[in-house]
Structure 1
Amino acid sequence: MELHQAAATLITLTLFLLPSTTNAHNISSILAKYPDFSTFNNYLTITLLAPEIYRRETITVCAVDNPAMDRFLSNGLTLGAIKNVLSLHVLLDYFDAEKLLLIPNGTAQSATLFQATGFSPDSSGFVQITNLNGGNVGFSPKDDSRAAPVAATFVKSVEAVPHNLSVIQISAALLSSAAKATAPVPAPTPAPAPSEVNFTVALWTHGCSAFAALLLASAAVEQTFEANSLTGLTVFCPSDEAMISFIPIFENLTVDGKQSLLEYHGMGFYKSLSSLRSTNGPASTLATDGATKQFRVNVQNDGNDVTVKTPMVTAKIVGTVLDKDPLAIFQLDKVLMPLELFSSPAPEAHAKAPKPSAPAPDAPAGSPADGPNRKSNGAAARFISSGVILSIGFAFLLQF
């Protein structure tokens, strides 16, 4: 438990140091505080809408309580239809209680995540908001350019981050015939096809949440992994324990260095565990330049054990997150360190004593040599010792 708490704090601080995450919305963590919304929260995770909400800067989530979700789920919809309907509950604008009651001319229309997917026909991806008699506010999904009868009413405000995130409760699910009929994602099966698997969610739920958080913090890296996950991808994800202890070193890298290190943990082709167990030799990574042999790893096997070696460190595969063509994800006990980013090997955990050239006690072991990739020890110390836990963090990554 102490490790998980430390992990949550370090991930929170790390991601808030990166500009792309300053406005991220941890909807899973917010709703986890309210048991009445547990079913709604679970389906945001199952349908992969939670990561979509995370990426948005200005958003309103219209949550429904467990009884309302039970009534909605009794319709027997496929997972794809459930996702589309729930995506109507995510408005791409900010509406708190005050703004809802002060809508100009008494009515407003908001785009939703369903509209943003491109699957919604005509204007069916919009929700109409109307001030009703007695100070009530109604919500109506639009179908075929016409407003449907009021499907739900405003109940209360749950939480709000002014002008960025508002979580409100509405009385019922916004059932839209267009959303129910348009279901690009098939119903769940015991073993979903790889194309249906969100690899970052798979990382979150299998002990690689710190690595997943860093991927989400870099849009370019995340896109590279996602694109390859459809055609062929092997990911070597460091365990949370390994990644968290490495974060101060990671923060000393340049932006390009961080991107290269993350891409160094992926190969742009599918390799099953059985294939890795019969493979010995160098392999290119997503960080490898096609014109050079840089950023390569060396895969070695010894019986059932498989190690991934770099000039800096030897990491062992300690678990399988996913192994189904075209996507394989394996957990490592260490972070892979490329020679191209680090000038001297990091001491192995079993080393009896530091070498004479080991870094000073207040510097992280294996940190980059002086140069453009190194920051002051004071910055790293401030990062580690900070006691401020920001209000929107990544504790939920360790709770799936």
Structure 2
Amino acid sequence: MSPSLVRSASLLFSCCVLLSSTATAFNITRLLDQYPDFKTFNDLLTQTKVNQQINQRQTITVLTVADDKMSEVSSKPVEAIKKILSTHVILDYYDTQKLKNIKTGSSVLTTLLQTTGTASSQEGFLNVTLKDDKIVFTSAVKNARRNVTLTRSVAAQPFNISVLEVSGPIIVPGLDAAPNAPVAAPAPMKAHAPAPTPHKKKQVAKSPEAKTPEAEAPSDDALSPDDAPASSPTEADAPAADKKSPAPSKSSAGGKGFVLPGFGLIVILMLVASFLTSQ
């Protein structure tokens, strides 16, 4: 291969690399900085970091709004602003001519909000309609306002990024009410409210245990009558001991009775002896 062909091939390759890098290298913040009328819109893109998501895309269309029409958006909470701005970013390249070529008169466009996972129902989509030579942008959500129209083309880098000015912000019905969802957090607190009731039940359950000592008091009183009869038999034993004590007195009396028969025998013997002597 000749040196000239090698140089030509390397030059062609360098041009391809340069073109591919410049084709995808855009910065929405720097681009809008050139247009002072969109300063508020540009600042909000930076504050919500939607600009970073835009710069990561290779094909994108941004619907920008002039500062004098942004008061309705800038007064909302940050999360609501982020969602609203995300609906102004279409995930495809659309310039004025491409929008006018919509043959069906209406088309559904996918926005950046649809990729965030926070969109519900049709919030992540826009309807674009060609009516009376005017291009109208409307949220795909039911009962959305249909008063936002295309004003002009601001800037374009064909097939990569297109910046179009619209007459006002595209408001999605109920989108700014989403931040109120965290108010449901007190619901778990209500769930904790019944928790004290079991403790009260436990305290009531303990009160019968406190009564058990009162039940022991009658048992002590019941023992005292039992002790009384027990002592009475002891006293009954005492008379039994007294009965035994007379027993020796009887035996002594019996001894005296034994002396009387012996004395009578002596008298009889004396009588017999006197009788024998008289013989």
Q: Which residue does the alignment assign to 1:107?
A: 106
Matched positions, count? 166
Deviations 1:354-386 (A, max 9, x none): xxxxxxxxxxxxxxxxxxxxxxxxxxxxxxxxx
2:167 aligned residue: 171
For residues 196-345 of structure 1, the aligned pairs below 5 Å read: none
Q: CA deviation at 1:147?
A: 6.2
Alignment of 1:7-46 (within 5 A): 22-46=23-47
Counterpart CA distance in 2 for 1:18 and 1:51 is 22
**Secondary structure of the structure 1 residue equivalent to 2:24:** coil
Structure 2 equivalent of residue 137 of structure 1: 135
Gaps of 5+ in 1: 1-15, 187-400
| Bigger relative contact order (CA 8 A; separation at least 6) | 1
Q: How far does the alpha carbon of each residue in 1:11-69 deviate from its partner, in whole angstroms, 9 at most, with x for none?
A: xxxxx879788513311111000000000000000000111000011110000000011
| Distance in structure 1 (CA, Å) of the matches to 2:162 and 2:80 | 24
3-state SS of 2:70 partner: helix
1:104 Cα deviation from its structure 2 partner: 2.0
Q: Any conservation in 1 of the 2:137–2:149 contact (CA below 8 Å)?
A: yes
Secondary structure of the equivalent of 1:40?
helix
> Is 1:150–2:146 an aligned residue pair?
yes
Cα distance change, pair 178–92 in 1 and its aligned pair in 2 (3 A) = farther
* TM-score with structure 2 setting the length: 0.55
Give, in angstroms, the shift of residue 87 of structure 1.
0.5
TM-score (norm. length: structure 1): 0.39
CA separation in 2, counterparts of 1:125 and 1:178?
Answer: 13
Distance (Å, rounded) in 2 between the aligned partners of 1:19 and 1:105: 34
- Identity of matched residues, %: 38
Contact kept in structure 1, 2:144 and 2:173, CA below 8 Å? no
Larger % of helix: which?
A: 2
Checking the alignment, whether the CA contact within 8 Å between 2:144 and 2:171 is kept in structure 1 is no
Do 1:58 and 1:163's aligned partners in 2 also have CA atoms closer than 8 Å? yes
RMSD over aligned Cα atoms: 2.5
**Could you tell me whether the CA contact under 8 Å between 1:28 and 1:50 is conserved in 2?**
yes
Counterpart in the other structure of 2:124: 125
Number of the residue aligned with 1:159: 155
**For residues 137 and 102 of structure 2, what CA distance do their matches in structure 1 show?**
13
Q: Distance in 2 between matches of 1:61 and 1:41?
A: 11
Q: Is the Cα contact below 8 Å between 2:143 and 2:173 reproduced in 1?
A: no
Measured in 2, the distance between the counterparts of 1:47 and 1:66 equals: 17
* Contact 2:106–2:129 (CA under 8 A) maintained in structure 1: yes
Q: Please tell me whether the aligned partners of residues 128 and 147 of structure 1 are also in contact (alpha carbons under 8 angstroms).
A: no
Question: Which ranges in structure 2 are unaligned for 5 or more consecutive residues?
Answer: 1-16, 183-279
Residues 149 and 70 (structure 1 numbering): CA distance in 2 closer, same or farther, change over 3 Å?
Answer: closer
